[in-house]
Amino acid sequence: MNKIKKILLLLGFALSVISTQADAAGWRTCSGNKITWDNDRTTMYINTYSMPIGSSWNLNFQYAMSEWNEVGGSDWKFYLGYDFDGTYNNSNGKNEVYFKYRPSESYLAVTKSRWECYWFFGTHEKYLESDVEFNTKYSWTTSTFNGWNTGSPYNFRLVALHELGHALGLLHSDGKPATMNTYYYNSGTVGHYNKIEPHGDDRYGLRILYRDSSTDRDLSVCRFRNTGGGSSTTNKVYTTSGNWVTSLSRGNSYDLYYTMENFSTQTETAKVNFYLSSNRYISTSDRYVGSTTWSMPAGAYATAKKRFTIPTNLTPGTYYIGYKADPNGSITESSESNNFVSLLHSITID
């Protein structure tokens, strides 16, 4: 006699302001099998009452969808649809995207996913629905996120990218730079241009769920680092005794926190140079103050301190300190614009 067992499951993942959770990157399973969407794709239906066509909310949600679609080494695709009736529920088989006022809830946004997991002459599992809700209890913005403001109003595209990660099947990932960090601001933006895109760990997870044969080579840096849980902070310069400092002296040594990631589908031997610059745009023509090299598997990151010395012949003044991955262009990358970044705060050198 064959035993038939079918389970329909519903779970919401919320993005909030503070984290105490420390998970590894992951995904849901059913009897050991990864739960994914059929055909490595799904359609997100944007509610046009909440996010009218052509509005900044609508466009920024589409931008977030495209960032997941463009990850090399994966054939995952979000498709765009519209929901014109102004209603939404979690049992209609449509992935609906909308704003909703939830005054008693602490989350910024939540993804409500429904899937099936059952045995019938073998295990069967797949996603059925993932709705994304943004809580209008909080203020939102579509302005550039650069790290100066890490609270309200909250960056809509950063949160959208995170929730879409849940919608495609990724769980929270803490203790490393990841869009899927449990809590805002999810390891922040990438590179000088503050691009909102999946971090290395997110790409690794996406490739596990929806891998294809394509390849990609891409190193990136950012001015943020994970603090060990689901939260992030900006990288800074410290004295060798561990105190944050913005006034430095020639001839003295300091420690610089930096973050580099391997977005590639392969291991990279990654060099990073450190520079002092008169502006935020870090380039190899700026004043070189050191370098280091890492061997980084696909999806890996390095957050570390680099000790450097202020040159004694440097002209006193205001500077920016930053770093550039693959400074000599030895790796042919799909994107070079995320290879360099300056710290958020300027420094004064006397």
Q: Tell me, what CATH number does 260's domain have?
A: 2.60.40.10
CATH assignment of the domain containing 14 = 3.40.390.10
* Domain annotation covers residue 50: yes
Q: What is the pLDDT of residue 12?
A: 54
Task: Provide the residue range defining the domain that includes 36.
Answer: 5-209
Q: What is the pLDDT of residue 24?
A: 53
Instruction: Tell me the pLDDT band of 229, cut-offs 50, 70 and 90.
Output: confident
Domain boundary among the residues 186, 209, 232 is at: 209
DSSP SS3 for 24: coil
- The predicted-structure confidence for 4-17, as pLDDT tens digits, reads as follows 222 333 445 554 33
What's the pTM value of the predicted model, to 2 decimals?
A: 0.91
The residue-averaged pLDDT of 219-243 equals 94
Neighbour count for residue 326 (Cβ, 10 Å) = 24
The residue-averaged pLDDT of 82-101 equals 95
* Domain annotation covers residue 214: no
Return the minimum-mean-pLDDT range out of 13-27, 271-285, 302-316.
13-27
Domain boundary among the residues 209, 239, 260 is at: 209
Instruction: Tell me the pLDDT band of 294, cut-offs 50, 70 and 90.
Output: very high
166 and 243 in a single domain? The answer is no
The residue-averaged pLDDT of 63-89 equals 97
Compute the mean pLDDT over every residue in the chain, rounded to the nearest whole number: 92
Rounded to 5°, angle at Cα 189 from 183 and 190: 135
Rounded to 5°, angle at Cα 17 from 15 and 23: 60
162 and 252 in a single domain? The answer is no
202 and 240 in a single domain? The answer is no
Length of the chain counted residue by residue: 350
Return the minimum-mean-pLDDT range out of 11-15, 61-65, 131-135.
11-15
Return the minimum-mean-pLDDT range out of 7-11, 58-62, 210-214, 239-243.
7-11
* Domain annotation covers residue 159: yes
Q: How many domains does the chain have?
A: 2
